[in-house]
Amino acid sequence: MNGRTEDQPEEHAGAATSVAGLGRTPEWTVSGSRGRWTTAERTLHAGGRRWVIGLTPTAGGETALMLWRGDEVVAHRRGTEAALCGTALRWVGNLLAGRPFDG
């Protein structure tokens, strides 16, 4: 255990600008094959709801970021891996603090 509770921000991941950085924290699950990552996911429960934040590379070389609330996709972004890792961490922090994910 890392001594964190579910409602504390993941400070050690706060500066992650890559999926590899996210994968070094226990809250994120990174899958891959042939030496490349294919998905990175973080599941959390906040505001009485289940949220999943996911990243995946796209065919065009960008990264896609998705946010599910239950079974519904509520946000989708495309951009660089570094920018979207930062966005994903902001969404986590906002949700755990009880704010809107994009607040």
Please write the tens of the pLDDT for every residue from 14-25: 568 999 999 999
For residue 16, give the nearest of 94, 91, 88 by alpha carbon: 88
- State the residue range of the domain holding 37: 15-96
Residue 14: predicted pLDDT: 57
Q: How many whole angstroms separate alpha carbon 69 and alpha carbon 50?
A: 6
Beta partners for residue 32, in sequence order: 37
Kindly state whether residue 60 falls inside one of the protein's structural domains: yes
Checking if the pLDDT of 2 tops 90, the result is: no
Kindly state whether residue 23 falls inside one of the protein's structural domains: yes
For 14-56, write each residue's pLDDT tens digit. 568 999 999 999 999 999 998 899 999 999 999 999 999 999 9
Kindly state whether residue 4 falls inside one of the protein's structural domains: no
Kindly state whether residue 3 falls inside one of the protein's structural domains: no
Kindly state whether residue 1 falls inside one of the protein's structural domains: no
Dihedrals phi, psi of 99, to nearest 5 degrees: -95, 165
What's the length of the chain?
103
The number of domains in the chain is 1
For 76-92, write each residue's pLDDT tens digit. 999 999 999 999 999 99
